[in-house]
Chain A
Amino acid sequence: MPHQVPLTIRAPLKPGRRAEVSALLDTLGKSIEHDGSPFAGMPGVHFARVFVLPGDPALDSGLDVPDTLVYLAEVDAPLRRHLDDVLDEESLAALFAQCAEYPERGAHGDRVRWARDHRVGAAAWYVHRVGRGVDQVRDEARLRTAVADFLDGRDWSGAGPGQVHRAVQDFVGSQPDLAWALAPAPLPGPLFRFREAVHAVGWAAALLPVSPLLLAVLPGWLLLVRRHERRDVPETARPSRAHVAELTAGEDHGTPNPFTAYGRVKPGFVRGVTIRVALRGLDYANRHVFARDNLAGIRSIHFARWVLLDGGRRVVFASNYDGSQESYMSDFIDRIAWGVNLVFSNGVGYPSTRWLVLDGARDEQRYKNYLRNHQLPSVWFSAYPALSARNVDDNSALRDGLAGELTEEGARRWLSLV
């Protein structure tokens, strides 16, 4: 199965186009709500969103950062296929046409070049299950429905779990549109796996010899950070009702929800290095430790990315998570406040931290206000609005269990998935 790729395209808007962009975004939103188009027809799209990232006139005196349009998607490789689809799509092209330098009258190749030129890499990227494509998610959901209906249709009293398991295998094998499920899910391509292995080993090998030095530097670094922390000023403003209403208009229509937020990175060398090191470490952990079904224990995030912009002076965070924002925030505050603090305490206005990881998100009200204040509305598409990440995992486990024989205990556990 293909591995997943983050795509971020960011381009400055032509001056004076905000109203037009709003209208186009509105139309796009209605189209998605109606029947998922245009994204529902594009293969390999897990999630996609479009939003305006407000400019920041104060970033550099004399250097104005204008409003930019951002297109952000989580897609299955190959990326080129998706780029082609997106750039050929009229409603999206109309949006890109609001951007400076977009080759409106250019050939397809020109537009691809424009997109590549405006592509931004993610400093860190999280995938709930590396290598599970959209088709696999949908097919395994279909499989589950069929198996559940099959189980409903018979009286299983007196049967052992192993017996039921074999009956399900027979049933699945007998259905032409389900028989594929008896084979285990293919792994991502060998090139991808090789590259990931090299990355895992390579970084470990590079850091191992210098790790004593890094550990020696760490206390001093933390002291420097602590000095900065004493000077930091946390934001105290409550989010406006209008802003929250705009955000919540797009929330809780299905199980997954989008979250997009941005902020300025605290100026200075210490903060700049800290956030980059934290994001590198996070990316490494996401790729090699958290690639199966959780992010530091949190099971409800489908995808997430952290993007540094404007010379590292701003950061954008975008995720797709399950449940309401209230439950999302509760998860972070209650379970991995230290992790959130590690990265985001480097953002201007974040609730006060101590030693980089203490307090911060644990200041419940300030943290929740901060998130809402920095959150952006977006037009958003999800390919499986009824499925939580856990549902998708359980469906995969269901499929995996069809591949061979199971012990009685294994079969019993497997049956609890349906």
Chain B
Amino acid sequence: MALPGVRTSAARSPSPTLDVADVQGLVVRGYGRLPHAAFLLCRVHDAAGARTFLRAHVDDVATGLGHDERWALQIAFTAPGLVALGLPDDVVEGGFAAPFVEGMVTPHRRRLLGDVGPADPATWNWGGPDTPVHLLLLVYAATAEVLDEQRTALLATAGDALDVVADLSTDELGEREPFGFVDGLSQPRLAGLPSGRAGGRTVATGEFVLGYPNGYGQLAPRPLLDPDTDPDRVLPRDPGGSGAADLGCGGSYLVARQLRQDVDGFTSFLRDRTRGTDGADDGQAQERLAAKIVGRWRSGAPLVLAPDADDPGTKYADFGYHAEDPRGLACPLGAHVRRANPRDALPPKPGSERSLRLTDQHRLLRRARSYTMDGERGLHFLCLVGDLSRQYEFVQHSWINDPVFDGLHDDGDPLVAPRGPRGGTFVEQAVPVRRRYRDLPEFVRVRGGAYFFLPGVSALRYLAQLPPTSDEESR
């Protein structure tokens, strides 16, 4: 499959408006009005049955236009899932990005993402070598009753065609994640979606949706099919102009990782490390240390704007690092939010628009929901990207997990990075001398994960009507 038409000019091209009717709604909204959700991870048991299931529900899939006020359904597939559904191997391998095709659990990727030692995929609840997944059904609902109703109905239609590998429930959507921090404050805005939430950087649509120009003004490679395989023109045609039927247009890569959070461990850590010399607990110091680790107070107020005391009114405010806090005295250089989104702190020319644009190449559109299951608390981390390697893997490896991030020596992300032989230190910059916390316990542990493709609506229809494969027919 040839690479799609690529404009090589480095000039910024105007971003076409996102065709919201052809993307699944998760690209446009986090379903804040549907506070109950469940994520069903399934394996295809019977391809024909799976396609029947898909045909039965493709009209239920919520698009970017809007959703039923009671519930919404989204559907995503892993690469083996697409093959199991009947998409030819060569289309999957040739058209989709290598991380998606190879999966999250290759040896190299395990090193990149820190899924080694006790976090090895062999220990995972789902997505590991013993528990592969094919499909992800994301069900959002206005009430717990509706959620249960829709979930049951879906599983009933699926019948034997799909095996449920994991049935992940979530907490009712609240403002805070399990460690007690307001979450989701900084989200990029898609350039092609002018009605998106105000504030936040505007980033090229193609950074999150395939078939649109990305941060380089180029169209990322996508599965482009011979138009003869799509005589009814279910799929849009390649925006790059090749005439091919575009299976990727309107789709996004969806990263899903179940992250267990050791809330008690975090609380104990804060208490132990801030205990006064008299042995008394210091609540204020605990809050302060927690804020230093995250980079925001629990209220969401950024340390850069509220360095000494919480100021909840600033939680939505925009800020930079270079002019306001170059030395990390307000927000430590290794704090979680500073790593996950360095804003204008990166060279060349920190503080400049150029620096901001560099960071724009590594943004994630987050759609996480917290969970409480079997006494365990955690986060079902979900994010949408256009380029798995440059966006998600880069952020996880080069910013979050990196023990030498921004000139640090042995510091992984103090809140979320896995603890290996390296990276267990947290330095809180200070004058005259920094405070160094060593041997940080691990607060977050990955329990499952996979790379999915969240197809555009036309692509879903196309997948639903795939013909049986020769394998199936020979049976």
Contacts of B112 in A (CB 8 A): 252, 324
The verdict on B156 contacting chain A, using a C-beta distance below 8 Å, is no
Distance in angstroms from A301 CB to nearest chain B CB is: 14
CA distance A244 to B218 in the complex (A): 23
In the complex the two chains form, is B216's CB within 8 Å of A362's CB? yes
Contact A365-B404, Cβ < 8 Å, known A324-B394, A327-B398, A334-B358: no
The verdict on B198 contacting chain A, using a C-beta distance below 8 Å, is no
In the complex the two chains form, is A299's CB within 8 Å of B108's CB? no
In the complex the two chains form, is B409's CB within 8 Å of A144's CB? yes
The verdict on B299 contacting chain A, using a C-beta distance below 8 Å, is no
The verdict on A29 contacting chain B, using a C-beta distance below 8 Å, is no
The verdict on A173 contacting chain B, using a C-beta distance below 8 Å, is no
In the complex the two chains form, is B111's CB within 8 Å of A253's CB? yes
Interface residue from B397, B407, B410, B432 paired with A159 (Cβ < 8 Å): B432
Interface residue from B102, B221, B397, B432 paired with A324 (Cβ < 8 Å): B397
In the complex the two chains form, is B348's CB within 8 Å of A335's CB? yes
Q: C-beta contact mask, A90-112 vs B, less than 8 Å → 1, else 0?
A: 00000000000000000000000
Q: Which of B392-427 contact A (CB under 8 A)?
A: 393-394, 397-398, 402-404, 407, 409-410, 422
Contacts of A364 in B (CB 8 A): 214, 216, 218, 390
Contacts of B407 in A (CB 8 A): 390-391, 394
For residue A250, which residue of chain B has the nearest CB? Answer: B108
Distance in angstroms from B277 CB to nearest chain A CB is: 10
Contact A326-B393, Cβ < 8 Å, known A334-B358, A364-B216: yes
Which one of B2-10, B17-25, B26-34, B120-128 contacts A? B2-10
Q: A245-B106, A359-B9 are in contact. List 13 more A-B contacts (CB 8 A).
A: A151-B433, A156-B433, A241-B98, A245-B108, A252-B111, A255-B403, A322-B404, A323-B402, A326-B389, A358-B10, A386-B422, A394-B407, A411-B432
Contact A252-B397, Cβ < 8 Å, known A323-B402, A365-B221: yes
For residue A387, which residue of chain B has the nearest CB? Answer: B404
The verdict on A177 contacting chain B, using a C-beta distance below 8 Å, is no
The verdict on B280 contacting chain A, using a C-beta distance below 8 Å, is no
In the complex the two chains form, is A366's CB within 8 Å of B6's CB? yes
The verdict on A3 contacting chain B, using a C-beta distance below 8 Å, is no
For residue B219, which residue of chain A has the nearest CB? Answer: A365
Contacts of B397 in A (CB 8 A): 252, 324, 326-327
Distance in angstroms from A98 CB to nearest chain B CB is: 28
CA distance A326 to B348 in the complex (A): 18
> Secondary structure of the B side of the interface?
loop
A-B contact count (CB 8 A): 120
Interface residue from B94, B398, B402, B436 paired with A148 (Cβ < 8 Å): B436
Contacts of B389 in A (CB 8 A): 326
In the complex the two chains form, is A164's CB within 8 Å of B422's CB? no
The verdict on A249 contacting chain B, using a C-beta distance below 8 Å, is yes
Q: Which of B342-368 contact A (CB under 8 A)?
A: 347-348, 358, 361
Contacts of B216 in A (CB 8 A): 333, 362-364
CA distance A394 to B347 in the complex (A): 17
Q: C-beta contact mask, B373-398 vs A, less than 8 Å → 1, else 0?
A: 00000000000000001100110011
Contacts of A27 in B (CB 8 A): none
For residue A248, which residue of chain B has the nearest CB? Answer: B108
Distance in angstroms from A129 CB to nearest chain B CB is: 15
- Count how many chain B residues have C-beta atoms less than 8 Å from C-beta atoms of the other chain: 46
Distance in angstroms from B109 CB to nearest chain A CB is: 8
Interface residue from A330, A388, A412 paired with B431 (Cβ < 8 Å): A412
Contacts of A351 in B (CB 8 A): 8
The verdict on A44 contacting chain B, using a C-beta distance below 8 Å, is no
In the complex the two chains form, is A359's CB within 8 Å of B348's CB? no
The verdict on B233 contacting chain A, using a C-beta distance below 8 Å, is no
Contacts of A323 in B (CB 8 A): 398, 402
The verdict on B429 contacting chain A, using a C-beta distance below 8 Å, is yes
Q: C-beta contact mask, B189-232 vs A, less than 8 Å → 1, else 0?
A: 00000000000000000000000001010101100000000000
CA distance A148 to B436 in the complex (A): 9
Interface residue from B394, B409, B410, B432 paired with A164 (Cβ < 8 Å): B432
The verdict on A120 contacting chain B, using a C-beta distance below 8 Å, is no
Distance in angstroms from B216 CB to nearest chain A CB is: 5
In the complex the two chains form, is A363's CB within 8 Å of B218's CB? yes
Distance in angstroms from A155 CB to nearest chain B CB is: 9
In the complex the two chains form, is B8's CB within 8 Å of A251's CB? no
CA distance A386 to B393 in the complex (A): 21
The verdict on B107 contacting chain A, using a C-beta distance below 8 Å, is yes
Q: Which of B452-474 contact A (CB under 8 A)?
A: none
In the complex the two chains form, is A236's CB within 8 Å of B2's CB? yes
The 8 A-B residue pairs whose C-beta atoms are closest, nearest first, are A248-B108, A388-B404, A156-B433, A161-B432, A362-B10, A327-B398, A363-B8, A359-B8
